[in-house]
């Protein structure tokens, strides 16, 4: 099983900050922090078996999609040495349209 580095695109980092703010506003900072920590840990585990999830070449070449806790869609791509987290979509966002 090949191991890859995992990196977050600037857009994915912005998505994480936005999610944190939304959750913190609704239920508090400690809950938001715990959720974001779980989400980031999940993404970092894409270092092994990076080719998981659903391929969505119909939307964008090399795009893969995987869910997190039934609330977040993780959009990522994989090359020989790196898994790149492209975007993180929370709730009912139309990720297909955004990723086109």
Domain ranges of the chain: 5-99
Q: What are residue 59's phi and psi, to 5 degrees?
A: -100, -45
Please state, in angstroms and as integers, the Cα–Cα distance from residue 59 to each residue in 80, 97, 100, following that order: 21, 8, 6
What's the CATH number for 5-99? 3.30.2310.20
Q: What is the pTM of this model?
A: 0.91
Provide mean pLDDT across the span 51-66.
94
Is residue 93 scored above 90 in pLDDT? no
Is residue 1 scored above 80 in pLDDT? no
92 pLDDT band (50/70/90 cuts)? confident
Residue closest to 66 by CA, chosen among 82, 45, 81, 80: 45
């Amino acid at each position: 099983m090949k191991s890859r580095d995992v990196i977050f695109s600037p857009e994915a980092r912005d998505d994480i900050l936005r999610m944190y703010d939304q959750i913190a506003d609704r239920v508090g900072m400690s809950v938001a922090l715990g959720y974001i920590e779980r989400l980031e840990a999940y993404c970092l585990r894409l270092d092994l078996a990076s080719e998981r999830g659903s391929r969505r070449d119909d939307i964008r070449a090399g795009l893969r999609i995987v869910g997190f806790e039934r609330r977040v869609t993780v959009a990522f791509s994989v090359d020989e040495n790196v898994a790149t987290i492209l975007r993180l979509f929370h709730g009912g966002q139309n990720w297909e349209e955004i990723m086109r």
